[in-house]
Each structure stands twice: as C-alpha cells, then as structure tokens.
Amino acid sequence: MNTLEKVKQWFIDRDLENGGRLDKQSLKLSEEFGELCAGYLKKNEQLTKDSIGDCAVVIVGLALLIKVDVQEIFKDSEIFREEEVMECFKSLNVHISEFQLSHDLADKKLCRYNLMYAVRYLRIISKALGYSFEECFELAYQEIKDRKGRWIDGSFVKEEDLKNERKIL
C-alpha cells in the first residue's frame, strides 16, 4: 500500500466522512501552510519537510470530503515545470484560498482544480529545496499513523490534546 492509500485509509478509519467538516479542514490546510512558511523562513529543514507532508495529508482529507478522486489529483499534479520558490509559495497560497472560496460556492470542479494545483506546488517546492515530495508525505503519515483522537466540531483533536481542550466561544 503506497502512502496515498495509507493516508486515505487513516481518514476512513477515523470516520472523516461523518466527523470532519470541509470548512474546518480547509482551515487546517491554511494552518499547515503557515507552518510550511515558518519552516522555510527559519531555514528549518525538518519543519519544512514535515509541513509539506502535512499539507498533502490534509489535501487527501479534503478530497475525500468533497468526494473527488484523490488518486487522480495526485497523478495530475506530477506534471510540472520548475519555478522560483517564492513564486511557488505565492501560488500555493492562492490555490488554498481559492479552494476555500470554491467550496463555499459548491463548485466541485474548481475545488478539485485547486487541490491538484496545491499538490503540484508542494511538489515543486519540495524539488526546489532538494527534498523528495514522497518522503515528506511518508514522513507526515508516519507521524499520524497511530494517532488516536476524535472529531470535535469538524476538527480532529489528538488524544493528548483532549485533556487540554477548551472551547472558544
């Protein structure tokens, strides 16, 4: 089973379809993108690699929530040309934002397009920084594979964070 299949199964095993919410998961993608930016700016290789993988993991969950073929998204994202890293960060940010807007409009085709381009820019950033996208993705999976928790208001809360949970009004 490849990493993509393992991540899909992880979400299925944790009942994403009934527990996850599209708005909360798209916000999670923005959070992971912020960590990717922080890792890059701080020249923190481990954080950067982990965040690339984390973004990819969240994209899998988003694709499952909108019921589009995640295999196809990842396959279509493999075709790319090299670009300057800062331009890729800008473009990735645009596609994440456009995904959030397109899911509000219930435009499934546009949602799929933006997720595919988000993965494409994650691949380009990985390559530009000398990393393997697949290794980053696997690294993120290894970190979550045994994670337990539950869905609270559309967000997956890790078991260790449940005891510290405080509601925001």
**What predicted TM-score, i.e. pTM, was given to this entire model?**
0.92
Pair type for strands 149-152 and 155-158:
antiparallel
pLDDT at 102: 85
* Length of the chain counted residue by residue: 169
Task: Determine the Cα angle at 167 with ends 39 and 147, to 5°.
Answer: 55
In angstroms, rounded to a whole number, what is the distance separating the alpha carbons of residues 94 and 11? 26
Mean pLDDT of the chain: 92
Of the given ranges (43-52, 77-86, 112-121, 157-166), which has the lowest mean pLDDT?
A: 157-166
Phi/psi at 49 (5° precision): -60, -45
Ranges of each domain in the chain: 3-163
Q: What is the pLDDT of residues 108-131, one digit of tens each?
A: 899 999 999 999 999 999 999 999
